[in-house]
Amino acid sequence: LLMNRRKFLYQFKNVRWAKGQRETYLCYVVKRRDSATSFSLDFGYLRNK
């Protein structure tokens, strides 16, 4: 699950006054060991949780 580019740039630009930016995002990457030699990867984001 990827956030679209326009939403990312709007929410995460570095400005002093964040007018209209009222959402909170948590981006995550989870690396899980499936066996001794393999891993699985999951990534995405949560909004306002």
Amino acid at 11: Q
Looking at per-residue pLDDT, the higher value among 17 and 31 belongs to 31
Domain count, the chain: 1
47, 3 Cβ separation under 8 angstroms: no
pLDDT of residue 13: 73
Query: Can you read off the two tokens belonging to residue 22?
Result: 């009222």
Query: Which single residue is written with the structure tokens 């995405």?
Result: 44
pLDDT of residue 45: 86
Q: Is the pLDDT of residue 48 over 70?
A: yes
Domain that includes residue 16, residue range: 5-47
Write down the pTM of the prediction. Answer: 0.52
pLDDT of residue 40: 92
Tell me: the pLDDT tens digits for 18-43?
Answer: 666 777 888 899 999 988 888 899 99
Amino acid at 47: R
Residue 3, judged by CB atoms within 10 A of its CB (0-12, 13-18, 19+), counts as middle
